[in-house]
Structure 1
Amino acid sequence: MDFTIASILALDGFTNGAIYALLALATVLVFAVTRVIFIPQGEFVAFGALTLAAMQQGQTPATVHFLLLMTALVALLDGWQAWQGRQGLRGLMRVARQALPGLLIGVLALWAAPRQWPLPLQAALSLAIVTPMGAQVYRLAYQSLADASVLVLLIVSVGVHFALTGLGLVFFGAEGSRNPAFWDASFSAGPLSLSGQTVIIVAAAGALIAALWLFFEHSLRGKALRATAVNRLGARLMGISSTAAGQQAFTLAAFIGALSGLLISPTTTIFYDSGFLIGLKGFVAAVFAGLASYPGAALGAVLVGLLESFSSFWASAYKEVIVFTFILPVLLWRSLRDPHGEEH
């Protein structure tokens, strides 16, 4: 291997690492706030990419109908709880206000999808369709089990993963799709050739990481999420709703997953189950940070990206094995370094 090949592999590794960093940050966020190891994170990657691919073909994505169905189910559950709690008309009006955004997005998508809007508008609409599903999944699958053990929440995550993967097969079929690039430019720097899509991936990842930092450091909602992550009981005593925090964390995770899918779909073919492997690499990066540190997760993601890139050169058939084996020494190191005990 000479310097030119090493440079190309390093560039590819940093590009992939930028995507893994986003997914790792979402994994750390969800686990810190809700204690959920969010295995279905990758399904939002596939849903985002394939929703855009369907609109590119002038079709109405099945995810639009799924969004409307989930919105209706959540509204029915919340309405029933409001009725049982004797909250009256005020409670029902609150439920209607919460359901209104999902209904409006669904109706807009039903009207706009066949009209083949420009690519940036279709990408924005795809994000708007997939992002609300995060809070809806939390409401339907996790909210009633919020105080359960991590093991129970992990089992639920496995079930949600299989359910969403199966729905993805029904929605999009077994054939993969690849979307057009958001920027067709090409740049050369010595032996390196840099595509416009690569620039967009790295820039979008950096901008989103910066936005998340600003959100957690300088916004009231961000500080509320941080408080819930540090001490759930203390946050409740201070009037911070752990339910609202969980919904916000899952909404952010769904947005990050869908955005990651849009960013990588011009560079690789996405299938209904492609997100699982991509999300799993983000999880490996999050484990590197102990599911607790955002900078550590970003660093771990870059390491995973570089390891995957160089492994594909030296042992292409075993690159996935090498990447996932990377988690074993990290787990051993953390097991020896950090005190731990049984969860009650």
Structure 2
Amino acid sequence: MDFSIASILALDGVTNGAIYALLALATVLVFAVTRIIFIPQGEFVAFGALTLALFQLGKVPGTVWFLLVLTGLAALADLVNGFRHGHSPRRIVLRVLHTVAYPVLISALAIWAAPHNFPLLVQALLTLALVTPFGSLIYRLAYESLADATVLVLLIVSVGVHFALTGLGLLFFGAEGFRNPSFWDARFNVGPLMLSGQTLIIFLASLALIVSLWLFFERSLYGKALRATAVNRLGARLMGISSDSAGRLTFTMAAFIGALSGLLIGPTTTVFYDSGFLIGLKGFVAAVFAGLSSYPQALIGALAVGLLESFGSFWASAFKEVIVFSSIIPVLLWRSLRDPHSEEH
């Protein structure tokens, strides 16, 4: 291996690592706030990439109908809870309208826009607007009533949600894979490397999102509320911070990050209905490198995963996934020896 090959592999690893970093940050965020190891994070990636692909074909994506179904179930849950707690009819109606207004509006817009073949950027924004509400709705329907359950119970629910979303992905998008057009077709030569415009977009978008998350947690009231919930759920409740609202906001952010990752990775590889699981799992490996607690370590772990995958595919392409996922074993052993736990929390 000479320097030029090593440089190309390093660029490929860092590019993939930037995507894994976003997924790792989302995984750490969800676990820190809700104690949920969110296995289906990768499904948001697949839904984002494949929804955009169907818009490119001029078709209405199945995610539109799935969003409406989830919205209907959430509205039904609002009705049941309202009658159960004796709320006034006006309050129940307002709650239901608050639940259904945005999903119905964005679904109607997507149905109208699909056959018009709008520019790629418009379709990408519409895809983000469609997939992002899934986070809050999935949390409400699958996790909210179990918010105080053990981590193991929440993990089992996550596995069930993953299989459900994977099956629905097959129903909505079929078994055929799709590869989206690049957002920027420019090419730049930097020494032995050739940077594509899409690679630069991945770097810039990842950096912008990471900086935005830092500003959100450091400067905004909602971000500080999420940090308080992550540090001490009971203390946050005593201070008037709703753990349910924190969970919904966290899952909404995770869905947005996943959908954005799908848009970024779609032009670089063919995405199938079940591709999200493997991509999300690599983000989870990066999050484990950080102990599911540290955002900077998750970023470093994601870059390490990307480089391991890239160089592993060069030396032993048939075992590149084995190399990546086996790397988690020494990390877990080291963390276990460094911080042993005498009791289960």
TM-score (norm 2): 0.99
Unaligned 5+ runs, structure 1: none
CA contact (8 A) 1:149 1:343 kept: no
* Structure 2: distance between partners of 1:291 and 1:234: 21
CA contact (8 A) 1:82 1:92 kept: no
- 1:308 aligns to what? 309
CA contact (8 A) 2:131 2:256 kept: yes
* Structure 2: distance between partners of 1:97 and 1:148: 28
Aligned positions of 1:56-205 closer than 5 A: 56-88=56-88, 89-205=90-206
C-alpha offsets along residues 197-216 of structure 1, whole Å, 9 cap, x if unaligned? 00000100000000000000
In the comparison of the two structures, how many residue pairs are matched?
A: 344
Question: Alignment partner of 1:194: what SS?
Answer: strand
* Structure 2: distance between partners of 1:44 and 1:215: 22
CA contact (8 A) 2:78 2:95 kept: no
Question: Alignment partner of 1:298: what SS?
Answer: helix
- Residue identity over aligned pairs, in percent, reads 74
TM-score (norm 1): 0.99
Question: Alignment partner of 1:24: what SS?
Answer: helix
* Structure 2: distance between partners of 1:97 and 1:323: 44
CA contact (8 A) 2:110 2:126 kept: yes
C-alpha offsets along residues 3-51 of structure 1, whole Å, 9 cap, x if unaligned? 1001000000100000000000000000000000000000000000000
- 2:226 aligns to what? 225
Per the TM alignment, residue 95 of structure 1 is displaced from its structure 2 partner at its CA by 2.6
C-alpha offsets along residues 267-297 of structure 1, whole Å, 9 cap, x if unaligned? 1000000000000000000000000000000
* Structure 2: distance between partners of 1:124 and 1:342: 47
CA contact (8 A) 1:27 1:41 kept: yes
Question: Alignment partner of 1:193: what SS?
Answer: strand
Greater displacement, 334-343 / 97-106: 334-343
* Structure 1: distance between partners of 2:257 and 2:146: 24
Greater displacement, 93-102 / 122-131: 93-102
Unaligned 5+ runs, structure 2: none
- 2:283 aligns to what? 282
C-alpha offsets along residues 108-160 of structure 1, whole Å, 9 cap, x if unaligned? 11111111110000000001100000111101110110000000000000000
Per the TM alignment, residue 310 of structure 1 is displaced from its structure 2 partner at its CA by 0.5
* Structure 1: distance between partners of 2:107 and 2:87: 28
Per the TM alignment, residue 78 of structure 1 is displaced from its structure 2 partner at its CA by 1.3
Which amino acid in the other structure matches residue 249 of structure 2? Q
C-alpha offsets along residues 158-190 of structure 1, whole Å, 9 cap, x if unaligned? 000000000000000000000000000000011
* Structure 2: distance between partners of 1:99 and 1:230: 32
- 2:54 aligns to what? 54
